[in-house]
């Protein structure tokens, strides 16, 4: 029996997750950034497309030359002239003045559309509510519940401090559940919100503390937080705005009336 040894090098096919890197590539249409997919630092990316984003940024769809995976970057282009020709302006800048293109960051789950906070809410509570909404939108239920509880804690403590009533005991002052019950008892919160408040247990604890909060529980906490903020801040703020408009109209009417 005769054996034949094949000395030819086998043909190495491109891995299925690494498409032909020449497809869609044009010379000069690339930018340099850290790759969020493979961790490569200062890696070259091929630019395939871009669309206008929030001014002055645009969103650039790129492919890493190391891992061949795609990323959408938020970039600014000092050379941009017309947003209708934004992509060509970006291409020209990358070719002739790459220093004028700044990579801000890659798009991520943090850019998922989230619910805006109610109007007239204090800035610190408003930013926490936005964080809670973002966590809820991307499915981080325990984090969303924790942020909602923080909103409720800050808002109810301030509401209690504003009331001209004798301060309750230390337990009620420190615990969210008893504090809410105290505010309902003294009609500092409308009775119609009591049903929504069931998401806060009597001792102020819930699944967020144990890491077991589900989507339904997190949604209940978020709804109750929004309604409480609307009651404490938005309603009064809208009344103040209406009063300001009324005073402005009266002042305008008096100034328009000719003197006798």
pLDDT tens, 147-164?
A: 999 999 999 999 999 998
Average pLDDT over residues 111-137: 90
81 and 187 assigned to the same domain: no
The mean pLDDT of 7-26, rounded to a whole number, is: 44
Question: Mean pLDDT over residues 173-182, rounded?
Answer: 91
Beta bridge partners of 51: 59
Of 75, 107, 139, the residue that ends a domain is 107
Within a domain: residue 233?
Answer: yes
Instruction: Name the token pair of 221.
Output: 């906490």
Please report, for the domain that includes residue 148, its CATH number. 1.20.120
Task: Give residue 158's pLDDT.
Answer: 95
Based on the domain organization, do 155 and 228 belong to the same domain?
yes
Q: What residues are paired with 30 via a beta bridge?
A: 46
Residue bearing the bigger pLDDT, 1 or 51: 51
* Structural domain that includes position 175: 123-248
State mean pLDDT over 169-191.
92
Q: What is the pLDDT of residue 70?
A: 95
Question: What is the model's pLDDT at position 227?
Answer: 94
Cα–Cα distance between 248 and 158 in angstroms, integer? Answer: 31
Same domain, yes or no: 131 and 243: yes
Q: Give the domain-ending residue among 59, 76, 107.
A: 107
| Whole-number pLDDT of residue 228 | 95
| Residue 255 is assigned to a structural domain of this protein | no
- The answer to whether residues 99 and 198 belong to one domain is no
Residue 113 forms part of a structural domain: no
CA distance 212 to 218: 10
221-258 as b/e: b if 16+ CB within 10 A: bbebbbbbbbbbbbeeeeeeeeeeeeeeeeeeeeeeee
% of the chain residues with pLDDT over 70: 80
Q: How far apart are CA 30 and CA 47, in angstroms?
A: 5
Are residues 80 and 174 part of one domain? no
**What local confidence, expressed as pLDDT, does residue 89 receive?**
77
> Is 21 part of a structural domain of the chain?
no
Can you list the pairs that 120-128 forms with residues at least 24 positions away whose Cβ atoms lie under 8 Å?
120/233, 120/234, 120/236, 120/237, 120/238, 121/229, 121/233, 121/234, 122/233, 124/154, 125/151, 125/154, 125/155, 125/229, 128/154
- Computed over every residue of the chain, the mean pLDDT equals 81
pLDDT (mean) for 114-130: 92
Residue with token string 């009651």: 231
Q: Are 151 and 240 within one domain?
A: yes
Mean pLDDT computed over 203-212:
58
Asked if residue 25 belongs to a domain, the reply is no
> What's residue 11's pLDDT?
40
pLDDT given for residue 210 in this prediction: 65
Last residue of a domain, one of 73, 107, 141: 107
The pLDDT of residue 62: 94
pLDDT at residue 17 tops 70: no
In this predicted structure, the answer to whether residue 259 has a pLDDT above a threshold of 70 is: no
User: Does the pTM exceed 0.75?
Assistant: no
Report how many domains make up the chain: 2
Long-range contacts of 198-203 (CB under 8 A, 24+ apart): 199/224, 200/149, 200/152, 200/176, 200/224, 201/177, 202/177, 202/178, 203/175, 203/177, 203/178
Peptide bond into 56 cis (omega under 30): yes
Asked if pLDDT for residue 44 goes beyond 80, the answer is yes
203 shares its domain with 239: yes
State how far the Cα of 176 lies from the Cα of 148, in Å rounded to an integer. Answer: 12
pLDDT at 148: 94
Looking at the chain, the whole-number percentage of residues with pLDDT higher than 90 is 43
Alpha helices in 18-67 (DSSP H): none
Q: Is residue 45 part of a domain?
A: yes
Res 63: pLDDT = 95
**Average pLDDT of 56-78?**
90
Do 234 and 195 lie in a common domain?
yes
Between CA 148 and CA 181 the distance in angstroms is 18
Whether residues 59 and 103 share a domain: the answer is yes
Which tokens sit at 215? 């989507």
Q: Would you say residue 12 has pLDDT above 70?
A: no
Q: Are residues 244 and 156 in the same domain?
A: yes
Residue 11 lies in a domain: no
Q: Is residue 117 part of a domain?
A: no
Comparison of pLDDT for 169 and 10, the residue scoring more: 169
Question: Higher confidence at residue 197 or residue 202?
Answer: 197
């Amino acid at each position: 029996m005769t054996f034949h040894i094949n000395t030819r090098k086998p043909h190495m096919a491109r891995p299925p997750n690494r498409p032909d890197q020449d497809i869609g590539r044009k010379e000069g249409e690339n930018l340099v950034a850290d790759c969020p997919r493979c961790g490569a630092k200062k890696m070259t990316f091929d630019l395939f497309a871009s669309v206008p984003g929030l001014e002055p940024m645009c969103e650039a769809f790129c492919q890493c030359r190391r891992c061949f995976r795609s990323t959408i970057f938020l970039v600014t282009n000092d050379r941009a002239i017309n947003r209708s020709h934004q992509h060509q302006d970006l291409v020209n800048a990358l070719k002739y003045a790459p220093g004028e293109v700044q990579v801000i960051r890659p798009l991520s789950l943090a850019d998922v559309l989230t619910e805006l906070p109610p109007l007239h809410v204090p800035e610190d509570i408003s930013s926490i509510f936005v964080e809670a909404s973002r966590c809820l939108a991307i499915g981080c239920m325990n984090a969303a519940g924790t942020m909602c509880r923080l909103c409720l804690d800050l808002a109810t403590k301030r509401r209690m401090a504003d009331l001209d009533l004798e301060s309750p005991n230390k337990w009620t002052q420190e615990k969210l559940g008893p504090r809410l019950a105290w505010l309902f008892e003294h009609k500092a919160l409308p009775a119609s919100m009591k049903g929504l408040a069931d998401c806060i247990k009597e001792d102020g604890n819930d699944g967020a503390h144990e890491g077991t909060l589900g989507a339904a529980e997190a949604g209940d906490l978020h709804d109750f937080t929004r309604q409480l903020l609307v009651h404490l801040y938005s309603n009064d703020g809208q009344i103040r705005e209406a009063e300001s408009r009324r005073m402005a109209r009266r002042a305008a009417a008096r100034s328009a009336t000719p003197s006798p």
